[in-house]
Amino acid sequence: MAAPPPGSNTTRIADSRVCTLGEGVLWHPRREQLFWFDILGKRLLSQQDGQPLEWALGERASAAGWIDSDRLLMASETALSIFDLRSGARERICALEADNPLTRSNDGRADPWGGFWIGTMGLEAQPQAGAIYRYYRGELRQLFADITISNAICFSPDRRFGYFADTERQRIWRQALDEQHGWPSGEPQLFIDGRVAGLNPDGAVVDALGRLWNAQWGASRVACYDSNGQFLQAVAFPASQISCPAFAGPDLSTLFATSAREGMEDDQLAAEPHAGKLFAVDVPVQGQAEHQVVL
């Protein structure tokens, strides 16, 4: 991924390829390379030396974590798989609701213990058809059931909390985590209630100071909240359906965001010609490096 212009703080198009449903943007800290998904286009996208890269996946995939320099743990509609970036080969390691053709994977992220949290949802966002799981040391365990649109999976830098959202319910919850192995401890607590302002929480990431940055579907922005869930600021983007943020770049101070054009009518697309593209903006904060998945 090309470095941003020094001192730039203007939102810009980082990649002009259009995704029907962009998601799962991930900065690989060893490769210093950005990856993201077009879920409905069934492809993984990236750039290298300023040139576009993409892999056709043959199924809907949505999120990944990094295992080592050349392999990702990838979540798709049927499985968690090891994806080899050199060959494009995939090795399935466990099924993910493979017996349910009405669901697919959605938001996911590696946790500080080397586990991987992954949410599912109905293909048509059927009510409570999805769930959130954690893959850890060879075991896939369901953490939360009855989720309609799983999102905002991320973790505090002090390892005390995980976060998750149900976009349909317009809420983000904070979940205390066991220090030793990172499993949920106690019941999740409401962290942000988007119903108050009519906001739809999508993907999220936590910065190095513990502030949560949440993409808000339909609001053309990524909003920042402090560790108590109080709104601090928002970064505007030139597309309404912003779906997933990530801190990237060598110093983790560039905020990238995917977007989507799913469900938009012709007049909406005319008004939003950049819908579905990848955006970037330099911010005066530093993100966390993405955690490594431990198999």
Binding-site positions: 23, 104, 106, 124, 151, 202
Enter the tokens of residue 109. Answer: 């992220």
What's the N-to-C CA distance of the chain in angstroms?
27
d(CA 38, CA 22) in angstroms, rounded, equals 5
Residue 185 DSSP one-character state = -
Indicate the annotated binding residues for substrate: 104, 106, 124
User: 5 CB contacts (<8 Å, ≥6 apart)?
Assistant: none
Catalytic pick among 202, 207, 266, 267:
202
Q: CB pairs under 8 A, 24+ apart, for 77-85?
A: 77/103, 77/104, 77/105, 80/116, 80/118, 80/135, 80/140, 82/295, 83/44
Q: Which residues contact 254 (CB under 8 A, 6 or more apart)?
A: 4, 247, 248, 280, 281, 282, 283
Q: Catalytic residue at 202? A: yes
Contacts of residue 157, Cβ cutoff 8 Å, sequence gap at least 6: 206, 207, 208, 209, 210, 288
CA separation for the pair 137, 120 (Å, rounded): 20
Q: How far is CA 122 from CA 119, 168, 171, 194, 282, in A?
A: 11, 12, 18, 22, 35
Binding residue positions for a divalent metal cation: 23, 151, 202
Cα Rg, the chain, nearest whole Å: 17
CB half-sphere exposure, 171, CA atoms < 13 A:
10
> Which parts of 57-169 are beta strand (E)?
61-66, 71-76, 79-84, 90-95, 103-110, 116-122, 130-136, 139-147, 150-155, 161-166
Structure-token pair, residue 291: 């955690």
Return the active site residues.
202
